[in-house]
Structure 1
Amino acid sequence: MTWKYMTIVLSAVVMNVQNHECKDYDLSASDQSLIDMMQHYLHNSRKDECPPPSKTFNSGQVGGNEYHHKGGGVNNLCLPNNPENGQHQSYDNNQVYGADYVIGSNHKPFGWSDSLGGKLVPCSVCYQRNRSTVLMVPGRKTCYKGWNMEYNGYLMSDHINHYRRDFACFDINAEPLDNKNGVGVCAYFYPIRTKCGSLRCPPYTNEADVLCVVCTK
């Protein structure tokens, strides 16, 4: 279920409340579950560090489909450090791999160390009890008035010559899962940049880092 879909359903829930014109409305279990899900957000590239007043729901490493696979899932996962593993299977449909940073001295976001290159990506799933809406805003490092900033950083995704994957907002103070390099094939995260033309410049700048911010309300 995507954030877009959940947002649409959540809007329907809110409209339903308004149409009843009741001050005290009892949400069904499914409605409340949906709202609870909306209070979570993924903190890419940080481990065990949800900014207060957020609480850490779980932490672990980013996982996803291998970079050259044509089919299967395209979204990024935050795989917990304490999994409950299923039974071994013989069929061939591997889709959950670790993910690493693909950066170097000549292709990295401003201010990052190229020592992150090849390291696995950590993550935390954060919980905001009193905020029901989560938005990742590309192209900005600050939230609009009335919104709370959870973290900001750089937009990243797979390489232009690989198969498409989600865009993800990586913390500006990114860190590795550990000091070991990824082993074997992985899901990859490359820094990305703007390209003027169909993208209007101004207001954007050509071939620049793409900033991002995660906001809640």
Structure 2
Amino acid sequence: MVYTGQVGGNKHTHKAGGVNYLCLSNDLENGESQKDGNTQLFGLDYEIGSSYKPSGMKGDMKNKEVPCAVCFQRRRSVHLMIPGRKTCYKGWTSEYSGFLMTDHKNHSSKDYLYVDKDAEPLDNKSSNEDGALLYGIRTKCGSLRCPPYKDATDVRCVVCTR
């Protein structure tokens, strides 16, 4: 473990600024307070209640903040996320499997995150701050070939190392 923290990102209604999610350290060394209004870093809230929760994911975590960890694996130099799978290919070691998630399709674009199937909230607080938001995503057949995909299904992922 290098460090633990909370996931942050730009507010779901902002049309410009950062698009990637960040694992923010709990051990801060911040700059000085400023008066301008260019706030772009908000805590990420799970929006995975009943309708957006991937099948097989535990608990209702709607409006709970998302924790994170940055890890280093000394003997494994290659890190690979494989979307659409829950197991690694032969010769690779599975670090965790879960679901591909991002902001809602009607909000501004954000990066995809790989969320462990056994994800937990940062704490028990659930105040619906609506900063950065995280939803489970589904497939859409058409330009995405079905088969092998199926329409409107959760997108699994696995993180593998070698």
With normalisation by structure 2, the TM-score equals 0.95
Where structure 2 has 5 or more consecutive residues not aligned to the other structure, the ranges are none
The structure with the greater share of residues assigned to helix is: 1
2:38 to 89, 93, 97: 93
Report what 2:65 is aligned to: 120
The Cα shift of 1:58 comes to 0.4
Any conservation in 1 of the 2:100–2:115 contact (CA below 8 Å)? yes
The Cα shift of 1:156 comes to 0.3
Structure of higher RCO (CA pairs closer than 8 Å, 6+ residues apart):
2
Q: What is the aligned-residue RMSD (CA, Å)?
A: 1.2
Provide the rounded CA distance (Å) in 1 between the counterparts of 2:29 and 2:127: 22
- Number of residue pairs matched by the alignment: 162
- C-alpha offsets along residues 148-189 of structure 1, whole Å, 9 cap, x if unaligned? 111010100000100100011100001000000145331110
Any conservation in 2 of the 1:156–1:168 contact (CA below 8 Å)? yes
Greater shift, 126-135 or 172-181, is seen at 126-135
- C-alpha offsets along residues 91-147 of structure 1, whole Å, 9 cap, x if unaligned? 221111100111222331112345211100000001111111111111000111111
Provide the rounded CA distance (Å) in 1 between the counterparts of 2:126 and 2:105: 23
Kindly report which structure 2 residues correspond to 1:163-202, keeping only aligned pairs within 5 A, or say none: 163-182=108-127, 184-202=129-147
Percent identity, aligned pairs only, is 57
Report what 2:50 is aligned to: 105
Provide the rounded CA distance (Å) in 2 between the counterparts of 1:62 and 1:142: 25
1:148 to 93, 107, 115: 93
- C-alpha offsets along residues 71-91 of structure 1, whole Å, 9 cap, x if unaligned? 111111011111112110112
With normalisation by structure 1, the TM-score equals 0.72
2:77 to 117, 126, 132: 132
The structure whose Rg is larger is 1
Provide the rounded CA distance (Å) in 2 between the counterparts of 1:171 and 1:182: 23
Any conservation in 1 of the 2:58–2:118 contact (CA below 8 Å)? no
